[in-house]
Amino acid sequence: MKQLFFLFLFTSTILLAQEKNCGSNLRLNKYYKTNPEAKKIRSTLEEKTTKFQIQKEINTTIPVVVHVVYKNGNENISNAQIQSQLDVLNKDFTRTNTDAFNTPADFLPVVSNTQINFCLAQQSPKGNPTNGIIRKQTTTNSFPLFGNAIYYDSLGGSTAWNTQKYLNIWVAEIENGILGWAQFPAAGDTNTDGVVIDFEHFGTIGTAIYPYDLGRTATHEVGHWFNLYHIWGDNSCGNDYVNDTPIQEQGNFGCKIHPHISCNNSGDMFMNFMDYTNDACMNSFTEGQKDRIWSSISNWRTGLLTSNGCVPTTIPNSDAGIISIIEPNNQNSNCASPIYPKVVLKNYGLTNLNTVTIEYNINNNNSTYYSWNGDLETNEQDTILLSALSSTGTSHLLNVSTQNPNNSTDINPSNDKETKIFSSISGEQVQLNIMTDNYALETSWILLDQNNNTIDSGDSLTNNTLYQNNYCLAYECYKFVINDSHGDGFCCNFGNGNFSVTSSIVNNQYVQNVPFTFTDTSYFCLGNTILTEKNESFKIHPNPTNGNLWINADLTHNNNTPIFARILNNLGQSVLSTKIVNNKIDLSHLNNGVYQILIETETKQYIHKIIIQK
């Protein structure tokens, strides 16, 4: 059996890359098969596009309505996460993104400000006030690429607002690792015309997960909605119908170094928003792409230019309030983090209530804001599941209140607020995810606390099945062990097996899939806890260090098996795996800070704190 030893260091998060998977062209090709006449319409549009010349002084702001379609509180993303995505769209489409300076010098003459901005809609199609966020709870676990249920209230989704006047974006859990998709102009039903994004790849905070956690999935898909193709034309050395983007062989993944040459070009434009690179490596559109975007607006999406969706409107003499807090309650034992409040909203006013902002917090700490939209008549009520709050301890005071009903001043603030005292279990809820491969009976796992007491375990698993278990864990350190009796882990061509332990409230991934043979052990800690030292014979120097670290311990093995270092933060998040050479590790690329080192073999375990100070 091949033996591997691991060294663990604690610092910031880097997760194993999931390859980007965009479904826009797949949906387009399927639409062509069932609607062959669409190719002719698209061909006519393409002819107009090639002849189009933009008037350089044109600017426009496009109203956006975000449909949050959620089954649970984790998928019901916050206002702040939605706003973070709007901020990214505005920066990316006007080339005010802070990473624009990363564009290589030879591409600078062609990169572009598209002169397009976006707003969360301020006015509904009926002229009522709104904040541009529609929330619909569903019983659907996830939505498939080739289904349309997400677009209709009656099918468990959310019905689009006028797609000629608004950019509709649906945020939900998408099946099979698809990050998102968009409908190209003239390539589908008007009711499905918009963009769909997986909730874990929308915005820059909350549920957004590396490496697609900087909002560029939406930038990419909105590009498709504006008639932009993938930069490689979805063919080897294909055509994206843009003159100033270089021909390239295929989509690029991860982060490349310029020049990355293919198809006899001078370097792929892998930093283009229409490639497949990680979010942190994308930064630009081109002038040619700008022309295509504006051609799609001028020749197909003309209603955007006359939309009133970004014009605020108010209804005076409005009155709304929270009349009760259903959850949390003292009948069910909840984990202290996260808490998902469920409240009842009432329209006390004499006019219909279309929008209101709900402010809520625990123990008067930092408030969270939630946008509600709907149509409540006088004295009508609505039960609302709010986005998650984080807390610590066991005794809490929940405060919930309303403000700005119908974008106006509430005429009776005395009925706005409700409070509730409740208790909880001290700890954080985490989710263990295991996706088995084609040989699940070879796999077993065990979750242990810091005293090696078993929390849970599993074996006799089913092939190609996703197992998801939730635990409320105290603020201490844990160990997750996964085994493969055949010694080939989740590797090779035996399915898409993977495992992870993630936070239920923020985008922390404490444990992630790594290559292994017979077994792999991952350590993680919750809260501010850290692994304690267990063997003082393990010495390191210098400490503090400027990055070059020497380890004074016997790290040799009689079969010369290499020893690998794994980097984690103080929450146990893995960020790097690297080999130790001659008892030395180069940490010069890490930021200043406090770290811990753990090295574990079959017979010894060493743990030590270090400080990097450059």
Residues with catalytic roles = 221
Contact 223, 294 (CB under 8 A): no
What backbone torsions phi and psi does residue 28 show, to the nearest 5 degrees? -60, -45
CA–CA dist 207, 198 (Å, integer): 10
Dig out the tokens for 161 from the structure.
Answer: 């607002």
What backbone torsions phi and psi does residue 413 show, to the nearest 5 degrees? -65, -15
Q: Which whole-number Å values give the CA distances from 453 to 32, 37, 91, 348, 450, in the listed order?
A: 57, 65, 50, 54, 7
The dihedral over CA atoms of 178, 183, 189, 193, expressed in degrees to the nearest 10, equals 100
355 burial type by CB count under 10 A (0-12 exposed, 13-18 middle, 19+ buried): buried
583 burial type by CB count under 10 A (0-12 exposed, 13-18 middle, 19+ buried): middle
Contacts of residue 574, defined as CB under 8 A and 6 or more positions apart, other chains included, come to: 14, 15, 509, 511, 512, 514, 522, 566, 567, 568
CA–CA dist 137, 157 (Å, integer): 8
Q: Do you know the residue count of the chain?
A: 614
Q: Give the single-character DSSP code of 114.
A: -
The arrangement of strands across the sheet holding 320-327 comes to: 320-327, 342-347, 381-385
Which H or E run includes 563? strand 563-568
Dig out the tokens for 581 from the structure.
Answer: 């050479």
Angle subtended at Cα 96 by Cα 224 and Cα 194, rounded to the nearest 5 degrees: 25
First CA to last CA distance, the chain: 41
Return the residue matching tokens 């055509």.
239
Task: Give me the DSSP letters along 230-261.
Answer: PTTTTSTT---S-TTSPP-SS---S---S---
Strands (E), 306-394: 320-327, 335-337, 342-347, 353-362, 368-376, 381-385
Contact 447, 478 (CB under 8 A): yes
Strand partners, 343: 325, 384
Q: Which residue, among 168, 220, 173, has the nearest Cα to 192 in the 3D structure?
A: 168
Q: Which residue, among 47, 292, 296, has the nearest Cα to 187 in the 3D structure?
A: 296
How many helices (H) does the chain have, and how many strands (E)? Answer: 5, 32
3-state secondary structure of 303: helix
Q: Which residue, among 18, 16, 21, 15, has the nearest Cα to 179 in the 3D structure?
A: 21
Task: Give me the DSSP letters along 208-219.
Answer: --TTS-SSHHHH
